[in-house]
């Protein structure tokens, strides 16, 4: 892929189609973990890591096991006449890939780097059901990206997610001191904040809001 295309993918994933503010992916951790800055950073790092890995592994799974092309492994192993079209199994395949990947990463980090495990460990189990991860693998497939494109989109989408999370956490830490009307405290005001930030992010698209 051209460098220019990769740059467009990156800018789009971080700012224009930000996972939180525009695509609405990964909202549960966004509302749940964005109360304190350090946990937001931890969660963000874990998401970037798993998203990049998941994007690459999901591409390999799709390309060599699901797509009806001559690079399909079943086509060679079972000596089929035509390559099988298994794309309908994408949801089940990707979610299993992500679930086992998260387990695996957790095990490896625990063994190799106790410091990293301490920082990311508690966030990893939450990630399996984070729709941002499955979301990015499905988006890569929908957009027909190649391997490099998928990895770049996975990494930069994670960056965009972290950016949103960190921004939000910083605001919420200050919000603790503010005099918010009682019924709006907690989640409701967090949504209002997200709405206001989403308006700011609309600016990146260069669109006019009438």
Partner 1 sequence: MSVGKEFTKGLYAENPVFKQALGLCPTLAVSNSVRNAVGMGLAMTFVLVLSNIIVSLIRRFVPRKIRIPIYIVVIATFVTIVDLVMAGFAPDLHKALGIFVPLIVVNCIILGRAEAFAGRNSVFRSLLDGLGMGFGFSLALFVLAFIREILGDGRLYGFPLLGPGFEPMLIMILPPGAFLTIGLLMGLMNWLDKRRCS
Partner 2 sequence: MKDVLRMAWILGVVTVLAAAVLGAVNHVAKPRIEEQRRLALEQALLSALPKADPRAIVPVYEGDEIVYYKGYAQPDTTGLVGYAFVARGAGYSSEIETLVGVDTTGQIIGLKILREVETPGLGTKIEEVRYGEKDPWFQRQFIGKRARQLAVDKDGGEIVSVTGATISSRAVTNSIRKGLEELEKRLGGFSKTAQQVSD
Site residues for partner 2 per CB under 8 A: 12, 16-17, 22, 88-89, 92, 96, 143, 205-210
Q: Are 118 and 79 in contact (CB under 8 A)?
A: no
Helices (H) and strands (E) in the chain, counts: 10, 0
Q: Which is nearer to partner 2, 46 or 145 (CB)?
A: 145
Binding test (CB under 8 A) with partner 1, winner from 9, 23, 46, 50? 23
Q: Which residues contact 42 (CB under 8 A, 6 or more apart)?
A: 119, 120, 122, 123
Q: Which stretch binds partner 1 (CB under 8 A): 39-47, 108-116, 134-142, 171-179?
A: 134-142
144 binds partner 1 (CB under 8 A): no
191 binds partner 1 (CB under 8 A): yes
Q: Which is nearer to partner 2, 71 or 113 (CB)?
A: 71
Buried b (16+ CB within 10 A) or exposed e, 99-113: eebbeebbeebeeee
Q: Are 26 and 139 in contact (CB under 8 A)?
A: no
Binding test (CB under 8 A) with partner 1, winner from 135, 170, 171, 204? 135
């Amino acid at each position: 892929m051209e460098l220019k295309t990769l740059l467009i993918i990156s800018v789009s994933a971080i700012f224009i189609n930000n996972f939180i503010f525009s695509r609405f992916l990964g909202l549960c951790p966004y509302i749940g973990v964005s109360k304190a800055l350090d946990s937001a950073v931890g969660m963000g790092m874990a998401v970037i890591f798993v998203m990049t890995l998941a994007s690459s592994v999901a591409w390999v799974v799709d390309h060599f096991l699901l797509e009806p092309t001559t690079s399909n492994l079943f086509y060679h192993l079972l000596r089929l006449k035509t390559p099988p079209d298994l794309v309908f199994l994408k949801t089940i395949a990707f979610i299993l890939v992500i679930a086992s990947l998260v387990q695996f990463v957790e095990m490896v980090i625990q063994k190799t780097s106790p410091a990293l495990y301490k920082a990311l460990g508690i966030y990893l189990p939450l990630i399996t059901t984070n729709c941002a991860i499955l979301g990015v693998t499905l988006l890569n497939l929908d957009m027909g990206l190649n391997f490099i494109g998928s990895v770049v989109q996975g990494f930069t989408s994670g960056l965009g997610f972290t950016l949103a999370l960190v921004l939000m956490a910083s605001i919420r830490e200050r919000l603790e001191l503010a005099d918010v009307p009682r019924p709006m405290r907690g989640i409701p005001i967090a949504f209002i904040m997200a709405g206001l930030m989403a308006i700011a992010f609309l600016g990146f698209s260069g669109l006019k809001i009438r």
